[in-house]
Amino acid sequence: MSKALVTGASYGIGADIARALAARGHDLVLAARSGEALDRLAAGIGAEHGITARALHADLTVEADLERVAEAACDVDILVNNAGAGLGISFERTAWAEERRMLQLNVVAPARLLHAVLPPMLERGSGRILNISSVAATAPVWQGTTYGASKAFGLALTESLAYSHRLRASPVAMTALVLGHTASRFHELAGIAPSPPLLTLPSPYVAERAVRAIHRRRPPVVCVPSVRYKLLTGLLQHLPRRLVTLPGLADDFTTIASHAPGTAARPPESGGADGEHGVLAAEAGGHRERQL
């Protein structure tokens, strides 16, 4: 029986991906900070699907924890880099500690885990890697923040490695899941207003599409889980930037008033920040209409 490791598995898309993998008979290693929620998920999935589900309590922003997860990942057949966070505050007003934490989750941790799993997968001649990216990686729709740039790293890294001769010649496959707005528990925690129904996808649906994609004989390098978002990402990539950045199409986080002139505003931390893909809560007075 093969084994999969899912980061940020406590809630939302991470938990739904874990369920979809368990339904296909994969044993699981579930990594996240949220101890009790992670334990409940692991126990419930194991009992429901008759697989082994191990809860690995780890904060990927802590070097020692990241190394523990990297060690656990070395013998897995499937890696899902799902843990991530964003900041609902413009770059010039964030505390550097928060920026560093987000970059650790969105850039450093996924790269470290890829570095851990890829050599043994190539040596065994089998393996699947799923990196969770975002529509925000394809255009400056979250203006004034580093969120889109951090998610663009994962998308670019996936494509850079997946199209290399080494991976093309190997059964190992790497896929980036490009998400739009996905309904999950995170939005309640972060206080984010819901998007129009046309732009919102259910988390279980997205998870099932992603897991189905990586189980194909030839998984796609980029997976966009709905026709509407395939159209949207195509437009964002090919429309002139002056159109993509029009007010109403892009969120400008520099328009949110700060707490005090010249001071960094530290946002409240969401319990789902590294438990599922999403954003940290916007600063007081901010109102975000979309998560991309």
- 238 CB burial (10 A radius; 0-12, 13-18, 19+): exposed
Distance (Å) of CA 249 to CA 18, 27, 139, 244: 33, 42, 11, 7
Active-site residue 147, yes or no? yes
Angle between helices 147-162 and 96-103 (to 10 degrees): 20
Both tokens assigned to 102: 């987000």
Residue 104: alpha-carbon gap to chain centroid: 13
Integer Cα distance of 290 and 276 in angstroms? 16
* Amino acid, res. 241: R
Single out the catalytic residue among 147, 163, 205, 229: 147
Catalytic residue positions? 147
